[in-house]
Amino acid sequence: MNQILNNKNTDYAKKCFEKAVNLGINFKLNQNVKQNNFDINKFSNLFEIPNFGKPVDKLITDFEKNILPFCTNFSSVNFMGFPDAGNSISGISGAIISDFLQQNLINSTFCAPIATFTEIAVIKWLREIIGYKIQDITNIWDVGGIITYGGTGSNATAMLLARENYHKNTMIKGVRNPQKYKVIIPKDIGHYSIKSSLMWIGCGDNVIEVETKDFKYDLKKLEKVLKENKGNIMAVVAYVGDSRTMTIDNLKEIANLVKKIDPNIWLHADACHGFSLAFSEKLKAKISGIELFDSISTDPHKVLAIPYCISALLIKNPEKMKLITSTSDLIMQENFAYGQITPFIGSKSWVSLKLWFALKSIGVNGIGKIIEKRCKMANYLKNKIIKSNEFVLINDVNINSVVFMYVGNKNNPKSIDYLNELSTKIYNYMLQDGKYYLHKFTLPDNKGILKKDALLIPLRYMSGNDNISKKDIDDMLNYIIKVARMLENE
């Protein structure tokens, strides 16, 4: 059995590839979030090493029967917990082609000549869209950004840049007195990647959490913390759509305040979600001021229906990438060898091709319309919740995150403990049922909707699926009401 593609087995290869593509299409079009619940205790044979193989076409059939039913369908219109729909036709096409072509962007001239420059084009487009100044590109240090495999990688690289900007040559000398490498984040809504990346790069757990108002920095308390720790702050992180409430912070005010107190502090905008608003002429004013930040993380796989994984870290001053340049005789010392400026990444696949396909196929205006519709759907749900008697809205809807709780009767809600327990039961029921998915997490009642600063366990709608309709949202709310009443009557 020949497993390696060659001129003699092209018909068989095409049959396998066609079967795989059809499997994927049918899976994505399934209405339910999942078909069956996975129980590891019933899959002990999953870990048995295969001493003897089987033909690919038969393996795909086995996979469809025994593995696929336990996979989560992010492309279902009923998957309403994360925006990562992954159902862009152009994005999937780019992903397939990228895997076939096997370009390695660690070096350019012999590994990936045209791939390198299409990736540079993608980064240039993102910089233009976000509002950064564009300069002539004569080498890799003029590009002003890198493609990574996720927001965590982009944020970690931003913290590495902040560290080197704070104390140059720390890469060579090592971190000394790590307690001085402090980073400020907003309390209760910070993403885990910042804290984790600081520990990964040797700075320790030196995060300072500043109090928030309506899930944004309390600017007076931010100013107080900056002044009290002046000289020991290497970075301030702001969220352009945090991963819970999708709140956009006061970007201009933060940038002006931080740079006034200490111009050397690195400003990082985690815009993995919110950068998408820049595509829309109607919505981009919401993120005005983002261009003042030293670095911006973006996640096309979160908001542009691009299949996993692709993120981009954009740098205001491209020259700053020289702070983290590394050299090796395995990486060519040439003008456009990306391996010189991509920390944590060695061989580098052409993941940007799927974004290139999407941008070229849909266009900036087309993507803007998609983002506008997404925000309209979130506002539709917000208004339904406000008008309902059964639910309360927890957050201001800035983008496409709608955080809410079932309370039964909003005029006479039960105790916080009771509602949190009920919300957890609703979530667990959804997991077992497999028809819908909404996210769940803890969040302080910052706005005093139920009880000021009480710890809530709400549900969260956040969809990036362009197929979702008002009826889908209505059906979801009716489903939650039905499940809640059933659980209360047990």
366-488 and 93-360 share a CATH fold: no
Between 88 and 243, the higher pLDDT residue: 88
Least confident interval from 263-277, 322-336, 362-376: 322-336
pLDDT in tens, 270-321: 999 999 999 999 999 999 999 999 999 999 999 999 999 999 999 999 999 9
**Cβ contact 461:77 at 8 Å:** no
Q: CATH topology for 366-488?
A: Aspartate Aminotransferase, domain 1 (3.90.1150)
pLDDT at residue 3 is higher than 70: yes
pLDDT in tens, 386-404: 999 999 999 999 999 999 9
d(CA 288, CA 251): 7
pLDDT at residue 328 is higher than 80: no
Residues in the chain: 490
pLDDT at 191: 87
Cβ contacts of 469 within 8 Å, gap of 6 or more: 77
Q: How confident is the model at residue 1 (pLDDT cuts 50, 70, 90)?
A: low
pLDDT at 361: 97
d(CA 82, CA 374): 13
Q: Which CATH number fits domain 93-360: 3.40.640.10, 1.10.3720.10, 3.30.70.860, 3.20.20.70?
A: 3.40.640.10
d(CA 462, CA 304): 13
- Closest alpha carbon to 167 in 265, 88, 254: 265
pLDDT at 334: 82
- Segment 19-44 mean pLDDT: 92
pLDDT at 345: 87
pLDDT in tens, 453-482: 899 999 999 999 999 999 999 999 999 999
pLDDT at 255: 97
pLDDT at residue 92 is higher than 80: yes
Query: Please, what is the average pLDDT of the chain?
Result: 94
Three-state secondary structure readout of 320-337: HHHHHCCCECCECCCCCC
pLDDT in tens, 249-264: 999 999 999 999 999 9
Helices within 337-469 (DSSP H only): 352-387, 416-433
d(CA 426, CA 420): 10
pLDDT at residue 330 is higher than 70: no
- Closest alpha carbon to 339 in 353, 321, 355, 352: 321
pLDDT at 335: 86
pTM for the structure as a whole: 0.94
Burial class of residue 142 (count of CB atoms within 10 Å of its CB; 0-12, 13-18, 19+):
middle
Q: How confident is the model at residue 111 (pLDDT cuts 50, 70, 90)?
A: confident
**Cβ contact 385:391 at 8 Å:** yes
d(CA 101, CA 238): 38
Pairing of strands 233-239, 266-270: parallel
pLDDT at residue 331 is higher than 80: no
Residue 235: φ, ψ to 5°: -155, 150
pLDDT at 138: 94
- Two structure tokens written together for 426: 């609703």
pLDDT in tens, 426-438: 999 999 999 999 9
- What percent of the chain has a predicted confidence (pLDDT) above 90? 83
Residue 99: φ, ψ to 5°: -65, -35
**Cβ contact 149:311 at 8 Å:** yes
d(CA 450, CA 447): 9
465 to 280, 468, 472: CA distances (angstroms): 17, 6, 11
pLDDT in tens, 406-456: 999 999 999 999 999 999 999 999 999 999 999 999 999 988 999 998 999
Give the residue extent of every domain in the chain: 10-73, 93-360, 366-488
Q: How confident is the model at residue 2 (pLDDT cuts 50, 70, 90)?
A: confident
Q: How confident is the model at residue 367 (pLDDT cuts 50, 70, 90)?
A: very high
